[in-house]
Chains A and B, each alone.
Chain A
Amino acid sequence: MTKKKNRNVGIVGIGMTEISSHKEDQNQPEMINEAVRAALADAGITLKDIDCVVHGNMELFEMVHQPDLWHMIGTGALGKPEFRITTGGTTGMTLVAASDNLVASGMYDVVMAIGFNKLQEAGSTTGGITNMADALWYRHLQTGALTSTSANLSIEEFGEERARKAAMKHRIMMDKHASLNQRAHRRFGLEYNQMEDLMKNSPQLIGDLRLIHMCSQSDGACVMILASEEKAKRMSKKPVWIRDHIAVHREETASNAYFPLLSETSQRVAARKLFARNGITNPVEYFDVFEMYDPSAWWGIEWLREFFLLEGDEAIKMVENGDWDLDGKVPVNPSGGVTASNPISATAMLKPAEVALQIRRDAGTHQLKREVRHGLASGFGGVMWTELMMLEKDLNWQEV
């Protein structure tokens, strides 16, 4: 049963800072302010037009309590309504979903969502993520977001060689996409003929999860401005419409979440529910682009199967055939994905931001050549929490 959205919401402004590993020339509010100014300029509006600010990050990383209080000198929230919502790694997308709710509700017409992380200030993200684990029984063991459990399962299902090749091919494809994206943090210039070498020589982190497979630790901020349909049409020549979004959480025990004994992955449940309530029966046919939150190449290939509701080796076959490439059936991560850029609390916002840029045809050097009307973005965090969002070029979808 689909609920009727109270009113439509369009993305009218997108701003990002450069994403890099050590932004030593800016402090937190300065970094945020850069993205805020960029988003306002993109939308062609000023702070006066913003009705409400939504802020979020994983505060134990920068060790600032209630950071929105300090950051207001950069967010522009002075004298304005403001919300602070955080959900771990999914925060960036939660901020967009929350802003969508706030605008759709009719309470605010123009909302600015701000996601950022200055991870350089954390020292080590993995150390910070370890804090996520229950202090009593899991913290001493937890290896942060690093795990090879997914690799173990894929290897068991498809065989060592096929699985490892697929994961490495996906990783190299991500790097090739990143190389076209001037804003991406890490661009190694990898080539497919390096596959065998990397499979052997990239240092192992955990089991078959190698350094090359894993996402980076980045600094950066991303800001998105959302407006009601009426204002969006006035403010922007090409507002990108938020059609729907869903969040799917799982149980706290990381061990239980790392592989679903009981039933489906949160990725599959999110896709199944979101597509069903929007009448999407063939997601591979429907979507023109998918910005997936892929913290590692192993999860990347596993989740492609989940998000597109595929079975068996369908998704891996598509990796092998290049169907997820920029000119493939469903281009995945034209931005380079999370293995290229990961300012954690902004990362999940970069996903819908990138999709919106593609829909607007503003992605610059990494703009897809094909027409992009229907976009999909995912967020990941917590213990296998998934967020999924659908974006549209035109306000013409059918209510189911």
Chain B
Amino acid sequence: MAKNEPNTQAEELISIQVVNSINYSFPTGPIMGKWFQGLKEKKFYATKCPSCGRTMTPPRGCCALCVVRSEEFVEVGPKGTVENYDIAYYSSPDPLTGKVRATPYAAVFVRMDGSDSDIFTHGIKNEDIPKLKRGVRVRPVWNDLRTGSIEDMLYFEIDA
């Protein structure tokens, strides 16, 4: 496409606006399946590595450090300590719906009690955002309607 050709008349550049959408369904697998079952019961399960002993939340079937099968489940939490957090003042539109989430909202990176080295992420109750600090204690707030999904937990709140 020659950019420097003289135009005798204005050219309109065509651009096509399209939303692409393909439906998918994701299996949870046995490990995540048990975790979601736990959430339904208001419990946090982690898997434990038989080699290095670390716990993983959410549970993974393979310890990434040792590359060994880790299927022993232990219960952790439900409370934890905030190791770090992100308070979002800007929200990008959902790629499918175009909806923009209300800000501010925050994500917390929590070390669950009993989980020595792993971090679990979820949201924090909006009202608690001003009190967020590294080291605060939090507890989960559960959805009344739990179906075995990440939304079974609404968010964390500060454990006063």
Contact = CB atoms under 8 A, between A and B. Distances in A.
> Are A and B in contact, CB atoms below 8 Å, in the complex?
yes
Interface of A: 24-26, 30, 63, 123-124, 126-128, 130-131, 135-138, 140-141, 143-144, 146-149, 152-153, 156, 203-207, 211, 251-256, 258-259, 261-262
Contacts of B3: 25
Contact of B119 (A26, A204, A256): A256
Contact of A136 (B85, B118, B120, B150): B150
Contact of B90 (A149, A205, A252, A261): A205
B92 interface: yes
A261 B117 contact: yes
> Chain A binding site: helix, strand, loop or mixed by DSSP?
loop
A127 B98 CA distance: 10
A135 B150 CA distance: 10
B95 A141 contact: no
Contact of B93 (A124, A136, A211): A124
Contacts of A205: 88-90
B107 interface: yes
B58 A137 contact: yes
Interface string B138-160: 00000000000011000000000
A259 B95 contact: no
B87 A140 contact: no
15 contacts: A24-B15, A123-B93, A124-B92, A124-B93, A126-B92, A128-B95, A130-B92, A144-B92, A146-B90, A149-B84, A153-B84, A206-B87, A254-B121, A255-B120, A262-B65
Could you say which interface size class chain B belongs to?
Answer: 35 or more
Contacts of B90: 146, 203-206, 211
B102 interface: no
Contact of B1 (A26, A149, A251, A254): A26
Given A25-B13, A127-B93, A256 B118 contact: yes
Contacts of A207: 85-87
Given A25-B13, A255-B120, A261-B119, A124 B95 contact: yes
Nearest to A122: B95
Given A30-B1, A153-B84, A203 B89 contact: yes
A148 B109 CA distance: 12
Contacts, number: 100
Contacts of A211: 90
A353 to B, nearest CB: 22
Contacts of B89: 203-206
Contacts of B120: 255
Contacts of B119: 253, 255-256, 261
Nearest to B107: A141
A152 B85 contact: yes
A156 B133 CA distance: 11
B64 interface: yes
B65 to A, nearest CB: 8
A21 B139 CA distance: 43
Contact of A252 (B64, B117, B118, B151): B64
Nearest to A251: B64
B15 A206 contact: no
Nearest to B19: A123
A59 B25 CA distance: 20
Contacts of A149: 84-86, 109
B114 interface: no
Nearest to B96: A127
Q: Which 3 A-B residue pairs are closest in the complex by CB-CB distance?
A: A127-B95, A126-B92, A255-B121
Interface in B51-103: 58, 64-65, 83-90, 92-95
A58 to B, nearest CB: 14
B84 A259 contact: yes
A123 B64 contact: no
A240 B3 CA distance: 32
A152 B84 contact: yes
Contacts of A256: 118-119
A128 B120 CA distance: 23
A152 B134 contact: yes
A146 B93 contact: no
A147 B88 CA distance: 8
Contacts of B32: 136-137
B7 interface: no
Contacts of B85: 149, 152, 207
Given A147-B86, A261-B83, 7 more contacts: A137-B150, A140-B151, A205-B90, A253-B119, A255-B109, A255-B119, A262-B117
Nearest to B1: A30
Nearest to B26: A135
Interface in B11-33: 13, 15, 20, 24, 26, 28, 32
B38 interface: no
B43 interface: no
A143 B3 CA distance: 38
B84 A258 contact: yes
Contacts of A206: 86-90
A205 B32 CA distance: 32
Contacts of A138: 121
